[in-house]
Structure 1
């Protein structure tokens, strides 16, 4: 069946939680209270580059910066420009002194920033990040915009006051990969090149070029005013989120000097910082283009605010502006992951009707396939793709199914590119492939050897999986059976009846084996993992209560009887479901970990041992809408849970990667998770609006 991609403005069901939030654009009233300015913000350029910090612009992570450039878009991300500190002083001719009002906020050793004067009145992101400071009897508004598709940032300074003021702008540079930290060293080049540039309209502007790290591209600055060269190190910035994670958290930053300029009342001044060369166009035009690109993602006031907010957030993960389109799995540290790109693809692309973008992402992943396997990770530092997950290829089948629901089986991409890719994956599984991916004697999907982590529950400590799932994981059976059915559907439409018959037989064989072997009568819930061998030495039946059976039910309900589906959902509701998402392990299990805190090893131990994952709510909504005995009465409950999870945020307007297993379910992990945003949006628009539920 072909599904029409619903227009976002077609959703008429209002969400109760939205009534108190009249706008999807973040607005934070600070009034000089640093404690009100610790939440994070994120802004992206459509090609992998991003800017991010706290509302106070006081960095707490090594990943924070005003220009984190993607040198190999969307990969190769480096923190190039960390800060631009601003000083404000009365414009007294002939007087040069330290600025009277310093707007920069930093954490240094043994210094409490709460004791530092803080002039921020409010922060807005509508859609560009914008800070309003109250100083000197007036207001200084600072607005930031990343240039679309380019490694460049525009900073606009607009002064409103009774008289002119002098601004001092000091860029602080990190020029290092986003995963590392910079230390003062003698290898930085202090050479500063001053130039006069000519704009397209013939006007001239000032430009500074520096290349402090000879292994990385230069930085170019376009500015108004006077540049004062004074290369120097600023030392011992502390990033407290890194300290909480048990990691190195101190950094030294380098500055080439500062820019002095006079700001007249009602006027705007600009600083443009770019990698390698300045972008074409006037700063204000570049800023407005960035604004327009993000505003275009807003479905408008006719849609519920939560739908608007998630639709705007979805744009941050799509890297369609570069030569190599892809999906960033999460900010600030996640990379391009095949698994999460495919899980998120329906919500990011198909729900808002961006079919061409979805095809480009799928085409890129198909081109990277080897031996019938889809890549799971494209390392940010470059290098060869990694194929260390069995489920990435199965999620390709699931993304393909949802694409076909929208475009139909006869679409040229489906016939000419998708069908051959799915067939190669199908044949590889039948014959066996790397990581010992194969079918068991009774047709179950089996994968892995001891010490491998091949599903989304892939955390390892000292090289060993925390959640070993070698054998036949429950959700992989559903993904394989439904995927084989999808292959059969496309092959049949393309006239390849022989392939279609083989794929249909594989799907039915797996479902029969699943129904015979996976249900655990003792728990009234499916086994999480069983061994490929049904009996004998090494036979395994893991009855741990995890959400993977929920994924299986959402993907392929034909693996379950109606009574089993009802029992499964009831168990999930009682033990796994929370207002923030779905737990990764039942609290009744002795291995349950309540809090996702501590050093890296402690967090990895807790990653899938109780942490709550918001993206799983999408699968709960899909399964509950179709299988719940509550019928239509379940819809208000599902909407409340989706709204609650979306509001439990680390970064303004985004969905966090995970949360603590126990109330208040503090958000943790990466601040913006692609699958979280995508699945909540998909569930709201495809599973929960008025009318028939989605086809699955």
Structure 2
């Protein structure tokens, strides 16, 4: 029984199928992405979308889609799907779909009359190439396939329109054609595995509409160039392969290349394997030495905080420690450069955010938890020491270590934490001063430093620890049993019930007494917890927004005023286990079972960026977020560890 399988009923219902999207990547920054029915609903969608750093920092859509027609008795049946201006769908290829399956390859089975055809595809690892495989399962007469490439050659943040600047010149290849529409782009090499005819019939497919962009308040129609079409006969048991890449390939090797891609994939057979496969998708190798995690798809790059939060789950807890080693070896020099005032790699953004270094310490702490303190000390002890000394040096332009022992940040209206939504350059949530999660991370980092480098611990640091413990409680704990989100020198206190306080309980070292920890967890559970994660604001707090939709302005107001973020579940589960022990197991398990349905929804096989604050908690934003995936993987491991711990513990002697 397939795990990620969608039947004819769902696929033929565009209201349902268009809401589900897939994403596959090649570890070099390229991806292919669309709705599961094959109709592009975003400007970010495309069959081959690749980075071209010489042109812009964004990815670029080369091949928008490959339209397929099944030809019998000279009559073509176009089984593609496009939406056009006026909310018109044509052709209506979704009516021919019998099944869609993404357990290994993305696979769609069509039936047109007596013809049953299966289409599969892979985006090749470490190569900018997509390979389609077409298998004829049933036919009662001669059958041909017609392939029409729809070309964009544009930045993912832009749209293209009919123009006279294109270069439609075609260059013959072995079993194919190459084309490059504009200067600066690589040529797109389109090749088939067998002899065929190419029919030169250049035209523009105009007024294609992307309804997700319309919902988001952006320009949403474009024209795509079609140079003509390839046509070949297909026979049973003799699959046809179509390749689109930036380099020519030997067509005879396409079956072998496709088979190799199949062998190295993680079959998505259950919730965990879906997450493990998704974790691979974020791994980014811009060259042979370096490694990063992309923050999400389809529009995020490498962001420092996201990387450190997601890394343990996407590497250590995913059974891929080599990713952890390579990525840490890449980003530690970048952090050292930043702390020393030198220019760091432009690939790793948001390094200057005050909490980034403390998340890096937490990332090492997770490594120590799995591989031991001695190994963490050997590999990363000096790095942790440098980070702690940096935070004590008061050289950060936006942050100061106060006499209270706490870190104080000066935002000047700019976003300085993970709650980074902004309008007109100013933060929607203008957090500044003593931030609760920043100082929880600071206390945790300081005590982990003591654990890792005891020879460097001294009386001065012990006094600092005591000062933090005393003032953290005095400044953040309020009379209602939860924590202020931030407090300023001017005595401004944010009474909003937000999830940032959960880190003061969840982190391995906490300055809070047990009673306050319990109270925080109870309030977070009562007001912020949902089946998809934690709300960013309690519905009881002023400014709560239940849905994250509409124009960019509306969405920016909603992101952190009620929207649900799944990555916060990792910290929430840790805190819940701390407080309730054995009693937390069934509760956490039920929540994770509830999360499992998400891999069948917005982003198929992965976890969305965020969700609406109110039921049914619709998935929003990016279709796949590294922090969400990483923290859910880590949560599954935490649950299994806790089960083993309590199974081996006599409750009477506990």
Scaled by the length of structure 2, the TM-score of the pair is 0.91
2:129 maps to 152
* Residues 1:516 and 2:474 aligned together: yes
Counterparts of 2:37 and 2:522, CA distance in 1 = 44
Inter-CA distance 88–616: structure 2 relative to 1 (3 Å threshold): same
Residue pairs, 1:467-482, within 5 angstroms: 467-482=429-444
Counterparts of 2:402 and 2:262, CA distance in 1 = 53
Kindly provide the CA deviation profile for residues 216-245 of structure 1, in whole angstroms up to 9, marking residues without a partner as x.
111111213122223332111100001000
* Residues 1:371 and 2:338 aligned together: yes
Contact 2:609/2:628 (CA < 8 Å) preserved in 1?
Answer: yes
Secondary structure at the residue paired with 1:81?
strand
Counterpart of 2:184 (choices 215, 220, 228) is 215
Aligned Cα root-mean-square deviation (Å) = 2.6
Residue pairs, 1:25-424, within 5 angstroms: 25-30=4-9, 32-38=12-18, 39-71=20-52, 76-90=58-72, 92=73, 99-113=75-89, 116=92, 118-160=95-137, 161-196=139-174, 206-223=175-192, 224=194, 225-278=196-249, 282-295=253-266, 305-320=270-285, 322-323=287-288, 324-369=290-335, 370-372=337-339, 385-411=349-375, 415=378, 418-424=380-386
Counterpart of 1:678 (choices 617, 630, 633) is 630
Kindly provide the CA deviation profile for residues 600-635 of structure 1, in whole angstroms up to 9, marking residues without a partner as x.
01100111000011111111111101113xx32221
1:115, distance to aligned residue in structure 2 (A) = 8.6
Contact 1:41/1:55 (CA < 8 Å) preserved in 2?
Answer: yes
Counterparts of 2:400 and 2:434, CA distance in 1 = 10
Inter-CA distance 306–503: structure 2 relative to 1 (3 Å threshold): farther
1:607 maps to 559
2:447 maps to 485
Kindly provide the CA deviation profile for residues 50-80 of structure 1, in whole angstroms up to 9, marking residues without a partner as x.
1111111001011111111234599752211
1:541, distance to aligned residue in structure 2 (A) = 2.1
Q: Give the stretch that moved more between structures: 550-559 or 69-78.
A: 69-78
* Residues 1:527 and 2:484 aligned together: yes
1:358, distance to aligned residue in structure 2 (A) = 0.5
Inter-CA distance 355–390: structure 2 relative to 1 (3 Å threshold): same
Inter-CA distance 671–479: structure 2 relative to 1 (3 Å threshold): same
Counterparts of 1:539 and 1:437, CA distance in 2 = 18
Secondary structure at the residue paired with 1:368?
helix
Contact 1:350/1:403 (CA < 8 Å) preserved in 2?
Answer: yes
Secondary structure at the residue paired with 1:601?
helix
Kindly provide the CA deviation profile for residues 167-202 of structure 1, in whole angstroms up to 9, marking residues without a partner as x.
110111111122221122222111111033xxxxxx
1:213, distance to aligned residue in structure 2 (A) = 1.6
Counterparts of 1:311 and 1:377, CA distance in 2 = 30
Counterparts of 1:677 and 1:410, CA distance in 2 = 28
1:476, distance to aligned residue in structure 2 (A) = 0.8
Contact 2:338/2:351 (CA < 8 Å) preserved in 1?
Answer: no
1:576 maps to 528
Scaled by the length of structure 1, the TM-score of the pair is 0.86
1:280, distance to aligned residue in structure 2 (A) = 9.2
Secondary structure at the residue paired with 1:559?
coil
1:489, distance to aligned residue in structure 2 (A) = 2.6
1:485, distance to aligned residue in structure 2 (A) = 2.0
1:47, distance to aligned residue in structure 2 (A) = 2.6
Contact 1:48/1:75 (CA < 8 Å) preserved in 2?
Answer: no
1:4 maps to none
Secondary structure at the residue paired with 2:645?
coil
Counterpart of 2:571 (choices 600, 619, 622) is 619
Counterparts of 2:481 and 2:252, CA distance in 1 = 64
Unaligned runs of 5+ in 2: 647-654
Unaligned runs of 5+ in 1: 1-21, 197-205
Q: Give the stretch that moved more between structures: 165-174 or 308-317.
A: 308-317
1:271, distance to aligned residue in structure 2 (A) = 0.8
Contact 1:338/1:392 (CA < 8 Å) preserved in 2?
Answer: yes
Kindly provide the CA deviation profile for residues 96-144 of structure 1, in whole angstroms up to 9, marking residues without a partner as x.
xxx5311110001125328946311111112111111101312111111
Q: Give the stretch that moved more between structures: 29-38 or 631-640.
A: 29-38
Kindly provide the CA deviation profile for residues 301-345 of structure 1, in whole angstroms up to 9, marking residues without a partner as x.
xxxx32233222222222358533211211111111111111111
Aligned residues between the structures: 634
Counterparts of 1:231 and 1:339, CA distance in 2 = 47
1:520, distance to aligned residue in structure 2 (A) = 0.5
